[in-house]
Structure 1
């Protein structure tokens, strides 16, 4: 027995509803726990200059903001539990489809792990697989796009081994503190499992085309960040300027996260693995939003080189994206006959 399903087992509207439910479950989990919820003072007394909406106001003693240690801990626990429950939700859909008996539970579990893109991890423990460059090429697609920003970091001496790079501040403090655990580990891992693996597996079960999955499914991911608008509005003083800032920041974040979602959705579908999407997410969070304007103003002697490098990164990304993500025996994106991987035949 297998769970490839020649015909869709879910309707399009059912897939939309489940996708919305997945996003609601993930985001809603941080509001169920009192420790994970934010709180803001009912009355604010703004200091001079705090009403402009350009800078966050001072935090009051009785308030709870998202970077408070206990809030970070509670939210990481909440989204981790939500991620497990959502994965079990996908398992339940597959299990019910094949009878819902204990006899087929193991089969449904294996099929769920395959559809969620976890199985490639088991291949990585093979010593021969560790030496195979083809296994790693999808992980380098996103860094190619950031060749321009990486040059900016190089010019600022911020890359490992350079004058302004320090192990304690750039690695230990950044990646292994509470905020680092949230920003670079728990957040990217849980979000990719939920909004890529789970959401896309549901749409695939509805018979959605690759194009629809790549361009429509990421909207769930983008909308899941809209709740940050309320936090921005409160942190910047609950003024008209703060409301405008909250709207603009939310629209920018919605656009950026949706575009990023399109990229990692392609990575997931093209490779059938969740791991390239996770490493891409971690890398993008590490790099942040490219600041070409700042780099051009700061390193004026390198202006033309910076512009050319940014453009070269975009061109190289477009070139390597379909080539470095080619994967054989992929449930989501079957390889075409006689195709060849850039690092050798599969």
Structure 2
């Protein structure tokens, strides 16, 4: 016969097990609702048609607006004790906002040192041109009128980061802990991008083999990117950093290593790619040190972790 203390331990373990499964299913449901909202509009038009973009943006914005309610229900159901609002838990807060916006973006730009140098070699005036465009009101007006730009640079980064980082990580952390959550949440993000298989198959652009290969590669890099932005979210407690990094990466695309290997200036280009990667690894923890961002609300949902604590001074 079990002692009362043993009964309590068993019941606690069962409650934790159930809570974790509900957490995973909640995240999966949220991912499915996000992707499903893209297909509530029946259309034979391609995904880049302005009318398709507008409808889909409206759908994902609605899902994102409802995501705090999902987190609120989860907190109530799981009986999680928090001292901050749901929005703060999801990374929408003022403390440490400026460094949270600038430092992770700087870190991402360091990683893209190679592609940025590559672009400068191919078009020396591109950097000054982009800088002038960034300061030109007319250029911004043209961008805002471009549905593809709005989707790629604004709506997709904001909604995806709010749902897949801001909403999912607070639900995962009490169950998995901060470190495991960083590698778990991106799986939902990667799977969510597999819906492109449906669109590619509908348009009959490529064979199923090619479509699956491309989708597999997309799943890989979106999962890796998701882990990076989840890391930023966990370290800074802000969603603004992941959003800006997401937007920047969408504007630059994947680094084209193959083109760099075939470039006439191959040696300095490859050096810039390697230097960018090394600097990124060196600056990864210093530029995301919680010291700059204040107390991270999402980390309060789990026992203290070195991931959430200011880095020790050496």
TM-score for the superposition, normalised by structure 2: 0.81
- Structure 2 counterparts to residues 195-344 of structure 1, below 5 A: 195-206=164-175, 208-237=176-205, 241-297=206-262, 299-300=263-264, 302-328=265-291, 329-331=295-297, 332=299, 333-336=307-310, 339-340=312-313
Shift in Å at residue 14 of structure 1? 1.3
Matched residue, 1:193: 162
Partner of 1:59: none
How do 1:83-232 residues align onto structure 2 when only pairs under 5 Å count? 83-95=64-76, 110-120=84-94, 124=97, 136-157=102-123, 159-162=126-129, 173-174=142-143, 176-206=145-175, 208-232=176-200
Change in Cα spacing, 1:225 to 1:94, as seen in structure 2 (3 Å) is same
* TM-score with structure 1 setting the length: 0.74
Instruction: Report the more deviating stretch, 13-22 or 170-179.
Output: 170-179
How far off is 1:322 after superposition?
0.8
User: Which ranges of structure 2 fall in alignment gaps of 5 or more residues?
Assistant: 1-14, 300-306
Instruction: Report the Cα distance in structure 1 between the residues aligned to 2:51 and 2:130, rounded to whole angstroms.
Output: 35
List, as ranges, runs of 4+ consecutive aligned residues in structure 1 with deviation greater than 6 Å.
7-10, 163-170
Q: Distance in 1 between matches of 2:174 and 2:62?
A: 24
Q: Alpha-carbon deviations, 1:102-148, whole Å to 9, x = none?
A: xx9xx88x43112101113x654xxxxx5xx6873223111110000
Deviation for aligned residue 1:334: 3.3
Q: Does the residue aligned with 2:47 lie in a helix, a strand or coil?
A: coil
Identify the match of residue 19 of structure 1 among 8, 15, 27: 27
Please give the alpha-carbon distance, in whole angstroms, between the structure 1 residues aligned to 2:72 and 2:131: 48
| CA distance in 2 between partners of 1:190 and 1:9 (Å) | 30
Cα distance, 1:25 vs structure 2: 1.1
1:262-310 CA distance string (max 9 Å, x none): 111111111111111111100100100111322343x41x211011110
The corresponding residue for 1:31 is 39
Specify whether residues 268 and 243 from structure 1 end up closer, same or farther in structure 2 by C-alpha distance, changes over 3 A only: same
User: How many Å apart are 1:244 and its aligned residue?
Assistant: 1.7
Q: Which has the higher helix share?
A: 2
CA–CA separation in structure 2 for the residues paired with 1:10 and 1:176: 48
Unaligned 5+ residue runs, structure 1?
A: 1-6, 40-63, 125-129, 342-346
**Pairwise CA RMSD:** 3.0
Counterpart Cα distance in 2 of 1:290 and 1:165: 24
SS across alignment from 1:225: helix
Question: Secondary structure, in 3 states, of the residue corresponding to 1:93?
Answer: helix
1:212-270 Cα distance to aligned partner (Å, 9 max, x none): 11112200000001111121123234xxx521221111111101100111111111111
- The structural deviation recorded for 1:29 is 1.1
Asked if the contact 1:233/1:246 (under 8 Å) is kept, the reply is yes
Summarize the Cα distance change of 1:264–1:12 in structure 2 as closer, same or farther, 3 Å threshold.
same
Between the two proteins, the alignment pairs up a number of residues equal to: 286
SS at match of 1:161: helix
CA deviation after TM superposition for structure 1 residue 176, in Å: 4.4
Distance 1:227 1:161, change over 3 A: same
**C-alpha contact 1:94 1:112 (8 A) present in aligned 2:** no
